[in-house]
Amino acid sequence: MTLDNPFADYDRLFDQWRERNPAGTFGAFSAARIQGSLKRGYQHPTLNCEDEGKAVEDAESVIQTYEAVTGSAPAPTSLRICDYGCGSLRVGLPLIARQDHGCYIGLDTVDTFLKAAREKHPDILEKQPLLGSVAQGLAAAIKAAPDLVFAYNVASHIHPDEVDEFYENIRALSAKPGCIVLLHVLVSAQPVRFQRSGWAWPMDFYVDRMLPLGFVKAKVGQTVERNGSELQSQVLTFVQPAK
Ligand SMILES: C[S@@+](CC[C@H](N)C(=O)[O-])C[C@H]1O[C@@H](n2cnc3c(N)ncnc32)[C@H](O)[C@@H]1O
């Protein structure tokens, strides 16, 4: 007996796309679909979001969580911050404005969203942020040894086949002793695919994936119901132990 896959049509589209893009990942496939819908005028909750207030709030929560965990307030503007899966710099823009030159690093698997942000906000380049695709920019970002790494609204979109690489990259970026990682996730009692590009996992999954970083605390947000599963939005804080 095979279980019904409510997303089988979408998965078939992915398979067809991969025949034309043999090295393509699910992340790249999703990004291509999103780009198409943005061109047709679709409003995406984060990728062409005009809600500046929410973006500033998210950026402040990144800084405040860092301050609360490290006990160093205000967080230094020389702190090197990596925004993993930065998209169109929704949270990145206020952080680039806050931090010193060269102290913001924005990485995404596809740089199309980043390119759009650079074109829309050419003034940010003056602050010399390090912006690029994961494929081309990861090594330089690791070398920059960030003090704080965060991934907001990213982990829940990672296909199970691409999960290993995702956490491996985050762990590599956060190798500096004392580095803080903030991971926005959806927590569910059982592993669940709740939408075409949406997965939630039990808490242990995230804590295990982040080892050797230690889990510090969770900021618990809303609980929503999707396809019969309860999903709790949480921002998990981890710290890289001292050597
Ligand atoms: C919903 S958007 C969130 C963007 C941004 N973090 C925000 O909150 O505004 C998800 C982003 O994750 C990126 N992404 C998807 N898979 C990724 C991966 N494996 N590694 C890094 N980024 C990824 C997508 O390209 C997209 O820009």
- Does residue 44 lie within any of the structural domains? no
pLDDT, position 1: 47
Which comes out higher in pLDDT, residue 37 or 125?
125
The best mutation among 154, 163, 169, 199 to test binding of ligand 1, ranked by most ligand atoms within 8 Å of the C-beta, falls on 154
* Percent of the residues in the chain that have a pLDDT greater than 70, as a whole number: 95
pLDDT, position 86: 95
> 231: number of CA atoms within 13 Å, CB side?
21
- Does residue 11 lie within any of the structural domains? no
- Does residue 26 lie within any of the structural domains? no
Mean pLDDT of 170-188: 98
pLDDT tens, position by position, 38-49: 777 767 766 676
For residue 31 the two structure tokens come to: 């990004």
Residue 116 scores a pLDDT above 90: no
User: Residue 185: phi, psi to the nearest 5?
Assistant: -135, 170
Tell me which residue of 235, 239, 238 sits closest to 186, measured CA to CA: 235
Residue 63 scores a pLDDT above 60: yes
Pair 221, 234: CB distance under 8 Å: yes
Q: How many domains does the chain fold into?
A: 1
The CA distances from residue 237 to 70, 83, 121, 210, in Å, are: 11, 14, 30, 10
pLDDT-derived band at 2, boundaries 50, 70, 90: low
- Does residue 183 lie within any of the structural domains? yes
The CA distance from 163 to 64, in Å, is: 28
- Does residue 101 lie within any of the structural domains? yes
Range of the domain at 154: 51-239
Q: Is 86 in the pocket of ligand 1 (CB under 6 A)?
A: yes
Of the listed ranges 1-10, 98-107, 165-174, the one predicted with least confidence: 1-10
User: Residue 125: phi, psi to the nearest 5?
Assistant: -65, -25
pLDDT tens, position by position, 19-58: 999 989 998 899 888 887 777 776 776 667 667 788 999 9
Mean pLDDT of 92-106: 97
Sign of torsion over alpha carbons 135, 206, 113, 10: positive
- Does residue 56 lie within any of the structural domains? yes
For ligand 1, the distance from its centroid to the CA atom of residue 137, given in whole angstroms, is 15
Mean pLDDT of 198-214: 97
Buried b (16+ CB within 10 A) or exposed e, 165-183: ebbebbbebbebeebbbbb
Which CATH number is 95's domain given? 3.40.50.150
pLDDT, position 37: 78
The best mutation among 157, 162, 235 to test binding of ligand 1, ranked by most ligand atoms within 8 Å of the C-beta, falls on 157
> 125: number of CA atoms within 13 Å, CB side?
9
Q: Is 31 in the pocket of ligand 1 (CB under 6 A)?
A: yes
- Does residue 130 lie within any of the structural domains? yes
Q: Is 137 in the pocket of ligand 1 (CB under 6 A)?
A: no
Q: Is 158 in the pocket of ligand 1 (CB under 6 A)?
A: yes
Sign of torsion over alpha carbons 176, 165, 135, 94: negative
Pair 215, 238: CB distance under 8 Å: yes
The best mutation among 90, 108, 131 to test binding of ligand 1, ranked by most ligand atoms within 8 Å of the C-beta, falls on 108
- Does residue 147 lie within any of the structural domains? yes
